[in-house]
Structures are given as C-alpha cells and as structure tokens.
Amino acid sequence: MLEVTALGWTITIGVIVALLALDLTLGVLRPHAVGFREAAGWSVFYIAVALLFGVVFAQIVGWDHGTEYFAGYIVEKSLSVDNLFVFVIIMSTFAVPQKYQQEVLTFGIIIALVLRVIFIALGATLLNAFSFMFLIFGLILIWTAVQLFRHRDEDPDVGDNAMVKAAKKMFPVTEKFHGGKLFARVDGKRTATPLFITLIAIGSTDLLFALDSIPAVFGVTEEAYIVFVANAFALLGLRALFFLVKGLLDRLVYLSVGLSIILMFIGAKLVLHWLHQDLWHGAPEISTPVSLIVILAILTITTVASLLKTRNDPKAKAHAGSLRVTSPQEEDAKR
C-alpha cells in the first residue's frame, strides 16, 4: 500500500493549485481568442509536467506505482478528449464568443476537479469498507460502455439537461452576452446571461463524467493519491487541449467505440478483481502493465482507424456519444 505523508500531500496540492491559478489567470483575467501556437505550447507544457511528475513519482515510490499513475493518467486523458466533444457542443449551442471560451473552460475544469476530489474520497472510502464495491464499480463501467457503444453515433442533447432547465426556470435569461458577466441588469431586473447557463451545462456534464471516470481510474489503481494526481494532471491541460484539437475532433470518428472498449475492459478487470478477492482465488487478474499496454493499443488503433476513415470518407463526422437510455417509444420510432 502506498504511504503518502502529510508533507507529500501538501506539496502535491500546492503544485496543482499553483498550476490551476496559472490556468485561471490565463483563462479569466486575460480573456482572448487562443491561437494554435499558444494552445500547442501550453498543451506541451501540461503534458510535460504530468510526465515529469510521473517519472519523479516512480523514482521515489517504485515503478509499480509509477505504472499505475501512467495508466490512470492515460485513461483520464482519453476520457477528457470525449469531454471536450461535449464542451464543443455546449459552446456551439450557446454561441459562446471565442474570447470568453477560455473563461468557461477554466471554470469548467475547476468544477470538474472539485467534483472528482469528492468522488475520489467517496470511492476510496467505499472500496476500503466494502470489497463488493469493486463489483459495483465494474458493473457501472460495463453498463456505461454498452450505452456509449449503442449511442456512439449520437451527441448529447444540451437542451434536455435537467440542471439547465431548472436554471432557466429560476432565472430569466438574456438573449445576448454581457461581456464576461454571469448576471446583468436588463430594464432594472437582474437576469442571468447565456454565459451563466453555459457554465451550468458544463458543470452538470462534469458531474456525469466524474461518475464514470472515477470508477475507471480505480480500475487501474486502488491508491487514492494516484487517482487524485492522475485526474488533476489530466484535467489541468484540458483548456489548452480544447483549442488545440477542437478542429480535429470531428475526425476521431471511432473515439466513442474505443472508449467503450476501454471502459468495458476496465469494468471486466474490476469484476475479476472482486471475484478473485471474495469468491474464487483462482480467478485470473489483469495486471497494471497489461492494462497500460491494452489501453494504449486501443487508443492507437482507434486514432489511426479514425484518420484513415475520414481520409477515405471526408463526409464522415465524429460524435461524442451519449449515455442516455433510449425509451421504447424512441426504439419504435427508429424501426
């Protein structure tokens, strides 16, 4: 079991908060349209920081835990790309001006990080108290994988978001943006701006992604510290990555398929771990190095296949995929 001292936690959290403050400064205090060179530079910076941390971490605690970190980081990074799909849809739906997209993304990342900290603490507590939670987490991931594969050619409907609907009922919403303000006074009345509704949509989306990503990363490591840092470093580069790849997202036509296979694989790994631990010690278990190789192979095949597909069929367009459960009426309508 990994033992992390209070000093270790303090230094880690301090580094992450400093990087988050840097991201906040760039995205909120200096709103501007982000170009390719700037996005590429910051993306390389955040990935380099994450890799450097992994190497230093592995040197200190050993490569067994180091491999778990890299596997967790890659899982969270791949899931964050699907998250970017949804961010693009939300930005387009609410017609967010390009110079304010940084602000929305930065707050979205902060919300995502806070939610993940909550779910990491909850998940670690449940796993330590009840071993059958490995089975529950595994079944959740398998169900998610099946739904994502079934609805791989769809995009989530932002208009159906329950929190967005509730926000619109609670506050009158202006049709126009008022600079970077979340609320504005129109005809003497306090009203919400489209920027506020956009943040509500992104925050609620972050909640759904947290519910999926935390069980997924616990599938490659049981260490809460590794789960936390893998999530944090994957999320910190999300703002820059958004502006770097948003023009390429449409070409990743098989991303949802690849992610569904990864989630299915990790779900099966968790179920086997529970079976080995609680029912049958002869049940096979999947090691972290094997998990890392499988995840990298799936992502590589998915990316190459997607690029080949779009090169041969320029009209092919990627979709974020949806986790919604299709109603019987919708199924009948499709038939």
The answer as to whether 274 is a domain residue is yes
Is position 330 within any domain?
no
Question: Per the domain annotation, does 21 fall within a domain?
Answer: yes
Residue 229 in any domain: the answer is yes
pLDDT in tens, the chain (335 residues): 788 899 999 999 999 989 888 877 776 666 666 777 888 888 889 999 999 999 999 999 999 999 999 999 998 888 877 777 777 778 877 888 877 777 777 777 788 888 888 888 888 888 888 888 889 988 988 998 898 888 888 877 766 677 788 888 888 888 788 877 888 888 778 888 888 888 888 887 777 777 777 788 888 888 989 999 998 998 887 877 877 776 677 788 898 899 899 989 988 988 998 888 877 777 788 888 888 899 889 989 998 999 899 988 888 887 767 765 444 444 444 44
Q: Is residue 269 part of a domain?
A: yes
- 331 assigned to some structural domain: no
- Which range marks the domain in which residue 16 is found? 6-324
Q: How far apart are CA 144 and CA 264, in angstroms?
A: 8
Q: Count structural domains, the chain.
A: 1
For the question of whether the overall pTM of this predicted structure is more than 0.85, the answer is no
| 83 in a structural domain | yes
In a domain, residue 165? The reply is yes
